[in-house]
Structure formats: C-alpha cells, structure tokens
Amino acid sequence: MIRDITLGQYYPAESVLHRLDPRVKLSGTLLYVISLFLFQSFAGYAVATVFLVTVIVLSHVPVSFMLRGLKAIFILLIFTAVLNIFLTPGRELVSFWKITITIEGLRVAAFMVLRLVYLIVGSSVMTLTTTPSNLTDGLEKGLGWLKFFRIPVHEIAMMMSIALTFIPVLLEETDKIIKAQQARGADFESGNIIRRAKALVPILVPLFVSAFRRANDLAIAMESRCYRGGEGRTKMRPLRYTGRDYAAYSVLIVYLAAIIAVGILF
Amino acid sequence: MPILVNHIDHIYNPGTVFEKKALSDVSFSIEDGEYIGLVGHTGSGKSTLALHLNGLMKPDSGGIYFDGVDIASEGYDMKALRGKVGLVFQYPEHQLFEEDVFTDVCFGPKNLGLERQEVELRAYEALKAVGIEDDRFYVSPFDLSGGEKRRAAIAGVLAMKPKVLVLDEPCAGLDPHGREEILSIADDLHDSLGITVVLISHSMDDLAEHVDRLLVMHNGQLVMDGPTREVFMNRKELEAMGLAVPEAAAVLSDLKGMGLPVRTDLITVEEAKNEIIRALRSRF
Amino acid sequence: MGVAYAAPIFILNDIMNLLDANKLVFEYVRRDKNGDVDGFIRAVDEVSLEIAQGDFVAVLGPNGSGKSTLAKHLNSILRPTEGVLYVDGMDTTDSDKIWDIRKTVGMVFQNPENQMIGTIVEEDVAFAPENMGVDPKEIRERVKESLITVEMLEHRKASPSKLSGGQKQRIAIAGVLAMHPKCIVLDEPTAMLDPEGRKEVIRAIRALNDVENITIILITHNMEEAVYADRIYVMNKGHIVMKGTPREVFSRVEELEENSLTVPVVTKLAYELKTAGLNIPDGILTKKELCEAICRS
C-alpha cells in the first residue's frame, strides 16, 4: 500500500509537460484545483474533464500509473460516497428500514467522489511530470516576493526538496524495518486498536533513529559541499520563460475564461 | 529435514513495466546441523530467497516445506515458523528499538507468547551466546559499538531458539577484528548449539574458512549447490558471473598454471600453505 | 591559487604541503545519563601529517580509532582542540577561510544515500557549484566533465534511487569533483558496497589520482584497497601507530594484528610461507608477486 502513493513521485519521460516551466504548472494546478471546488454543474465537470484528459495525454505518463495513486485513497472515496448518499436530505429515491437514499444524495456523492478523484489525478500529473527539485525551484522563484515579508522562501524550498528526496529512501527503510521485526515474531495485524498502536513502536523507533542519523549525515555532507543558505547561490538551469510557457499560460487563460463562462451560464 | 524448497518462483511487480523475475525454479533442501554459505551478486535473488525461508515472502509458484509441512497450508503458524527459522538482517539499526539491550532481546521470545521467566532466561542465554557481558545488558542499544550492535541483533533472533539461523551479510562494514568476532560466533552457534547456519556473504575468503556447503545464486536461479571445496573448483564459471574464488584457491590454480604440481581443490590459507610447502619439498 | 593566501607564512617546513597537521588533538566531552560531564575523550591525539599535492594516502584503523574524526578536520567540519592544521596554507580555525577550505578539500562519506541532494543525478552533481555561486553555463560544463570522469554521463538524467551502490558512490565523487578540489577525502566509501561496487569506486579513485593528480585520502578498513596507496597511515586509539608504503606496513603482520587489523589474504599467505621457512620476501601485495616468489624459491 505504501508503494501505491504516486503523489510526489516523478515519472521520467520526454513530453511538453515535462519541459514546461514549473511556475506554469504550479499556477495551472492551483487554477484547476480552485475550479474543481467552484464547479457545481455537469457542464463544469465536462470542462474539467476535457482539461484533465488533454493534460494526461500530453504528459506521456501511463494512465495506469496515475490511477494507482487512487488506490491509496480508495477507502476515503467509499467513505465519502456512503456518507453523502445516506446523509443528504432531499427527494426520496429508495427507502428501507431507517435508511433513505435521495436524488440529491446521489448527486452530491457523485460530485464529491469525482472531485476527489480529479484532485488526486490532476495534482499527480504535476508531480509526475516535474522533478521535485524543479518543483521547489518553481516555488522558490514564483514565491520569491514573499522574502520581503521575511518569509525564508529559499529555506522552505530546500526543506521541501530534501523531504521529497528522502521519501523513497525512508519508505524502503520502513519496509526493511517491518520485515526485521516480523522476523522477530512481531505482529501488526491482530488485536484491538491499542495493541496495534503499540505494535508500531518497534517500527517507529528505528525509523526515527535512522531519520535523525540521516539528517545529521546529510547536514555534514551539505556543509562539506559549501552549502550556506540561499545567499549568493546560482542555479545550473535558472528558470526562464520560453515561448512554450507563454503558450501554456494562454491555455490557462482560456481555461479561466471557461470557468467564468460556466459559472455564468449554468 | 527442516527445510525443503521445491521449485519456487517469485516475480516482482507482475504485469507492469517493472516486472522482474527475482527467483526462478529454485530447489534445494537444508538438513539439520548444516553450515551453508549463500553467495551471489546484488540482485541475484539471494536476499529474496532468504525472505522466503521464514515466510516473510511467498513464492508465486512452488512450495516451501518446514519439517515436512507446507508453510503455505491453511492455518500454518507463521509466528512459530519465524521462531524456528531465524533471520538476522544486515543492519542491526533496523531492529534495535528498546531502552536497553536486555529488553530488546526479550522482544522476540515475548512475541512467541512465552512466560516472562522463560523469556528472560532465553534472552540471558542468547546474550551470553553472542558474548555480550552482564555489564552491557542495561545500556541503550543505540550506545553500543558497531560490532556489539550486530551481536545484540543476532541475540534478538537467537532468543527465539531457532533451528535454522540465516545471517544476511553479518560482517558488512565491520573492521577486521569485528568480522572475526561475528564469524566465530556463527561458528559457535553451529558447532556448540547445533544450529543450522546459513551465511549470506560477499567474501569468498570468509566462506572458504567457515562454511561446508555453498549455494550460488545468479539471475534468480540457483546455479551451483555443493560442498564449498567443489564449488570453488569452478573458477572460470564463477568469474564469468562476476564472482571470485578465495584468494588461496586462486593462488594455487595460478601456481599450477605456472607448472608447479599443486592440488587445486584447497581453499583456505592454512591448506594452501601446507600444499605449497609439500609441492616445493617434493620437487627436490 | 595558493598565491592568493600568501600573506603571513604559516608553513613551518620548507616544502609547502597541501595538508599539514601538527600535533592535532580533538577532545570531546562525554556525558553520563543525567547529562553531567563524565570525562573527556581524546578522539584524535597528537596527530601530525604531511601530505603533498598528488599523494594517495590510505588511513587504516579499527572502528573507533579516530580516523573519521581526523577526516572531519580536513575540511573544517571539526576544529582542533589543540594543535594546528593547515590546508593549502589556510588555518582551518580561520572562519574567513572556511569556504575556501571546503572547496579545496572535498569529502565523500560512507552512505551514498545520505549525501544525495537532488532527485536526478545531474542536479546532485550541480549542488556544490551552485552553492559556490558558479555561473550557470560553467556549472553545466563542470557537471558534464565530472560525470565523464567517473564514467556516469549516460546516467545524468537518472534518479539516484535507481542506481546501484557503486554508481551512487561515483555520483557522490562527481558531486565533489565539480568543486574542482585539490584533495578528496573518502571516509569508508566502500563499506556499504558489494565487491563489484567496491571495484568501480576504487577504479574511479585511482583514476582521479593518476590522471587528474588529485590528492586522495582514503579511509578504509578494507586492507585490499589500501594496497594501491602511495602511503599508509595506521591509526589506533587516536594515534598514528604505523606509517609507510603498503609494502612496508603490510610486512609488519603481527603489529597490524595487535592493532585489530589484518593484512590482505595474499600477504597473509606469503607471511605464513615465510614463517614456515620458505624464501619469500616481505610485504607481498599481489597474487602475481606471490606466485613468482614461490616459483623462484
């Protein structure tokens, strides 16, 4: 299950989307996420679907790879759907015992599930086509103006980038720790919640100890390679907008117009 | 016959682009009291194989039998199996977690559901067996030296009283003295306690000095299985797989190539020394 | 480059060494469970070193002998408690020189995973020159040439997590090379690798020394790797207890064993044969030497 999380993973490929400036992708994702929450109609979702499908096709990332990310939130999806179906008041559709299913309930549930699925798939398109460091570069440069409010933008971006680098390493390590404790007869699957929570201690302690050791090693390695914060730092590939990026921004403006049009018309 | 591995396959990520056959038609058996070495490249499948022996991984086809019973059969007690086939991983940091060494070693037997007294007795015996002295029992496992951590990790598994003990790269990263210590503990467990030991190692010289039988994995297949001495006579085949023979064996075979009449089925430094002296004496 | 720091002449010797340590001591405070000072531990005790540009030095020693602590002094991660250490004429306690020192002496550590910054190979290699404020175009050149030197150019777009241990460690070396250092210190770079990975890394290190004339300080407890060095220092309990060429050091088998070390297997066999009365010279390092010596005797 841990391996099913696609959010924050990069899928190397040669596509227009991969080459796009991360700031474009960030703004696009932001716009897309906002639009998902604004849309209340099928027309709105049609627009979002067109946008999402286009982006997926352009990304050259296998669809199966993106959908895998949904496995991790499957329970959440079911839970959302069930709650909405049974708890939304409105016109009665079916009724048995104390439970009533309403038309509104089905509608809200469908939207909620769709919204979540689109949200996850949409944002994983961004992370799958953008290397984490590119992403943080984009954040650092795109949000550079926050420095004037004494927000340490570079430091935050660096922390994010390190965290993203270490996710796969720590996931693999967790797997090894679990195996090592299972080999000593540890049981993570039976018992009540308290017992199960207690069973996590033999995993969490080695994981934390290791994470701290790694952090310490990494700090020394970074200092050894002359790291001293963002001051005076250059970039191997400084972010610079090209024609492709302006074209992409135009597409986003069209999308924005579509959102507004849908809002007015439906 | 404690373990029978019968034609097992294991495939990683089946049906995806990352599909990889980690084990392919592997068969062998382990008898009571054997001392076995398991070698192969990184990615040859030897660690995957080790994980199958105590049921941490399941084969996609084929079966594994412990004391004649299929471990995949309904209701098989996996926890008990893990007590019988102990597996010590390469990094002790992955298992040490308690406040002190003694409590940590108690973790395994406690999981087996034993009485407290029995748990503590076993922990005590295990720590003694790996040469950790009483005054180190109540220090934090994180304050131990590298070699001591390995020993504590071995004790943690040993306390479950396994019949078979698999040690995955127990010497990696240790200095020569630390390596010697760990290997002599493995010898002791085999010789005095009668435990079947499987040693996974990259060091052919260490294996030559210690184990009686050698399993060689290559690309997911078990390509050689036999007495250590005989396996190491296949120098060409081993080198083609990117593996080596012990230095002593290599020296003997080079000497033979240079015309000195020496036997080439000898693998330890001691044996090579005696053979070279014998060959030189008989020349005159 | 050294000319820029010519101002006061600190160097005591006539010949200017790249690394010069004089009676270096490093002490740290040991605390008991309650956090009270329990005593002082001398991890490095009066160590003196003279290492010239282009040297290949191996530092051997058991775990806890102080060799890693010594290494961390060489690029001013740690500062000496007593004694002095000059790197290319710069005092490592001089805070103004710290970045010049780190640029001069690059460090490669044991665990390749814990020194990777960046999710693709070339980003990691670019990290140091980016920190140094090198011009983007030159960064790209440096990244390329560093990756060529360690024979990893074809993997420049790969994710480090998909590489083997030996490859990761070569990337770490490339990351240091991109600083254009005069010296590279490698702290047990092969301890976590398989034999194949070890060979790759050692080959890369030897090429740096032979071709680029970069000073190499290889800390290891693998005796076979030390054979390639020009000189070996053996450390134990914070002291340098032996030094000499590999041939000299490895001919002192008993003394090495007293220091919890061994000799390479071939050397050991040669020593045993000599002890048994055969006419074999001291300090045999390779199989070829041994076979020839046996056939002659």
Q: Is the pLDDT of residue B43 over 80?
A: yes
Angle between helices C165-177 and C195-212 (to 10 degrees): 20
ipTM higher than threshold 0.95? no
Interchain contact C276–B (C-beta under 8 A):
yes
Cα gap B230→B70, rounded to integer Å? 31
Is residue A75 in some structural domain?
Answer: yes
Dihedrals phi, psi of A254, to nearest 5 degrees: -60, -45
Interchain contact B139–C (C-beta under 8 A):
no
The pLDDT mean for chain A works out to 86
The one-letter amino acid at B45: G
Q: Which residues of B touch A179 (CB under 8 A)?
A: 51, 56, 89
The pLDDT mean for chain B works out to 93
**What is the pLDDT at residue C5?**
47
C6: pLDDT confidence band, cut at 50, 70 and 90? very low
pLDDT per residue over B144-178, tens digit each?
Answer: 988 999 999 999 999 999 999 999 999 988 989 99
Nearest alpha carbon to residue A237 among A142, A158, A137, A154 = A137
Distance from CA of C130 to the nearest CA of A (A): 5
Contacts 24+ apart (CB under 8 A), A83-88: A84/A108, A84/A109, A84/A112, A85/A109
Average pLDDT rounded to a whole number, residues C251-267: 92
The one-letter amino acid at B268: T
C4: pLDDT confidence band, cut at 50, 70 and 90? very low
Q: Which residues of A touch B161 (CB under 8 A)?
A: none
pLDDT per residue over C111-131, tens digit each?
Answer: 999 998 887 899 999 999 999
- Please provide the DSSP assignment of B229-279 as one string: HHHTT-HHHHHHTT----HHHHHHHHHHHTT----S---SHHHHHHHHHHH
Helix/strand/coil percentages in chain B, nearest 5: 45, 20, 35
Contacts 24+ apart (CB under 8 A), C42-47: C42/C238, C43/C69, C43/C238, C44/C69, C44/C70, C44/C73, C44/C80, C44/C238, C45/C237, C45/C238, C45/C239, C46/C83, C46/C239, C47/C21, C47/C23, C47/C83, C47/C235, C47/C238, C47/C239, C47/C240
Q: C263 with B226: CB under 8 angstroms?
A: no
Residues B269, C260: C-beta atoms closer than 8 Å: no
Q: Which residues of A touch C131 (CB under 8 A)?
A: 225-228, 233
B203's tokens: 């060091």
Cα gap C196→C193, rounded to integer Å? 8
Range in A6-10, A140-144, B204-208, B280-284 the model is least confident about: A6-10
Q: Is the pLDDT of residue C8 over 70?
A: no
| Nearest residue in C to B205, CA atom | C265
Q: Which residues of C touch B270 (CB under 8 A)?
A: 272
Is residue A40 in some structural domain?
Answer: yes
Helix/strand/coil percentages in chain A, nearest 5: 75, 5, 25
Residues A184, B82: C-beta atoms closer than 8 Å: yes
Interchain contact B134–C (C-beta under 8 A):
no
Is residue A147 in some structural domain?
Answer: no
**What is the pLDDT at residue B278?**
93
**Beta partners for C149?**
none
Is residue A117 in some structural domain?
Answer: yes
Q: C255 with C261: CB under 8 angstroms?
A: no
Residues A186, B107: C-beta atoms closer than 8 Å: yes
3-state secondary structure of B119: helix
Dihedrals phi, psi of C57, to nearest 5 degrees: -115, 135
Residues A133, C118: C-beta atoms closer than 8 Å: yes
A148's tokens: 């004037």
Residues A202, B107: C-beta atoms closer than 8 Å: yes
Burial A143-181 (b: 16+ CB within 10 A, else e): eeeeeeeeeebbeebbebbbebbbbbbeeebbebbbbbb
DSSP secondary structure code for residue C282 in this structure: S
Q: Is the pLDDT of residue C3 over 50?
A: no
pLDDT per residue over C174-205, tens digit each?
Answer: 999 999 999 999 999 999 898 889 999 999 99
Question: How would you classify the pairing of strands C56-60 and C231-236?
Answer: parallel
Question: How would you classify the pairing of strands B69-70 and B61-66?
Answer: antiparallel
The one-letter amino acid at C180: H
**What is the pLDDT at residue A191?**
75
Of B79, B88, B98, the CB nearest to A185: B79
**What is the pLDDT at residue C15?**
57
Q: B217 with B196: CB under 8 angstroms?
A: no
Nearest alpha carbon to residue B201 among B236, B242, B243, B172 = B172
Task: State the residue for tokens 């440096």.
Answer: C142
- Beta strand ranges found along C180-265 (DSSP E): 183-187, 215-220, 231-236, 239-244
Q: Which residues of chain A have pLDDT under 50?
A: 1-2, 4
3-state secondary structure of A38: helix
A242: containing domain: 1-130+237-266
Residues C119, A12: C-beta atoms closer than 8 Å: no
Mutate to test the interface with B, among C164, C286, C294 (most CBs of B within 10 A): C294
All structural domains of chain B, each given as residue ranges with its CATH number in brackets, are 1-76+163-176+194-235 (3.40.50.300), 246-284 (no CATH)
Percentage of residues of chain A with pLDDT beyond 90: 33
Interchain contact C117–A (C-beta under 8 A):
yes
Residues B95, A205: C-beta atoms closer than 8 Å: no
- Please provide the DSSP assignment of A74-141 as one string: HHHHHHHHHHHHHH--SSEEEEETTEEEEHHHHHHHHHHHHHHHHHHHHHHHHHHHS-HHHHHHHHHH
A3: CB partners within 8 A, 6+ apart: A171
Cβ–Cβ contacts within 10 Å for residue C146, how many? 26
**What is the pLDDT at residue B17?**
66
C143: pLDDT confidence band, cut at 50, 70 and 90? very high
Cα gap A240→C211, rounded to integer Å? 38
- Please provide the DSSP assignment of A222-242 as one string: HHHTT---STT---SS-----
B109's tokens: 């037997």
Task: State the residue for tokens 């469908």.
Answer: A110
Residues B42, C278: C-beta atoms closer than 8 Å: no
Dihedrals phi, psi of C31, to nearest 5 degrees: -115, 150
Cα gap B261→B284, rounded to integer Å? 12
Residues B94, A206: C-beta atoms closer than 8 Å: yes
B225: pLDDT confidence band, cut at 50, 70 and 90? very high
C partners (3+ CB pairs within 8 A) are A, B
Domain count for chain A, please give it: 1
Cα gap A83→A99, rounded to integer Å? 12
> What's the distance, CA B240 to chain centroid?
23
Interchain contact C294–B (C-beta under 8 A):
yes
Of A133, A218, A227, the CB nearest to C131: A227
**What is the pLDDT at residue B37?**
97
Dihedrals phi, psi of B178, to nearest 5 degrees: -60, -40
